[in-house]
Amino acid sequence: MNPEIYYFTGTGNSYIVAKDIATRLKGNLIPIKETENKESIVLDANITGIVFPAYYMHLPRIIERFLNKLDKIENKYLFIVVTVGGIAGDVILRCQKVLESRGGNLSGAFVVRMPANYIYAADSLPVFYKSECFVNGEKKLKK
């Protein structure tokens, strides 16, 4: 079965990253919003990626709810990709703990820096810096 790439995005940064990963892995791209009404989520693929933003160095609630619905995740390769404007904070550790509580394990965790978009706490970045973030993010995705 092809890899599954689940994603949550607020402004589009995580969607772009998830779409690129799904294309490169020939995987299926699945919005996490489509799973919100499910009580349980059984992963069909042996490789599953979850792409989402850090919200001011914290795990978004929608992601925590999603992770807590995952069933039969033993022996699956589960990885996360966190898009950040600054740092990921405790997001990776929090994901690991939730997955372990569900019987799984976090096989890989990656951080992709994107332009910050939490304007309340930080001013918008100059255009040249945003462009640099996208170029560096593209290089990191290839790796």
Lowest pLDDT segment from 19-28, 55-64, 67-76, 123-132? 123-132
Res. 128 pLDDT band, cuts 50 70 90: low
14, 83 Cβ separation under 8 angstroms: yes
Using a pLDDT cut of 70, give the percent of the chain over it.
80
Rounded mean pLDDT, 103-118: 86
Q: What is the pLDDT of residues 15-56, one digit of tens each?
A: 999 999 999 999 999 999 999 999 999 998 999 999 999 988
Rounded mean pLDDT, 131-140: 66
85, 122 Cβ separation under 8 angstroms: yes
Domain ranges within the chain, ordered by starting residue = 4-142
Is residue 137 over pLDDT 60? yes
Confidence at residue 101, expressed as pLDDT on a 0 to 100 scale: 96
- How many other CB atoms are found less than 10 A from the CB of residue 107? 14
The model carries a pTM of 0.84
Closest CA to 124 of 3, 1, 11: 11
Query: What's the CATH class of domain 4-142?
Result: alpha beta
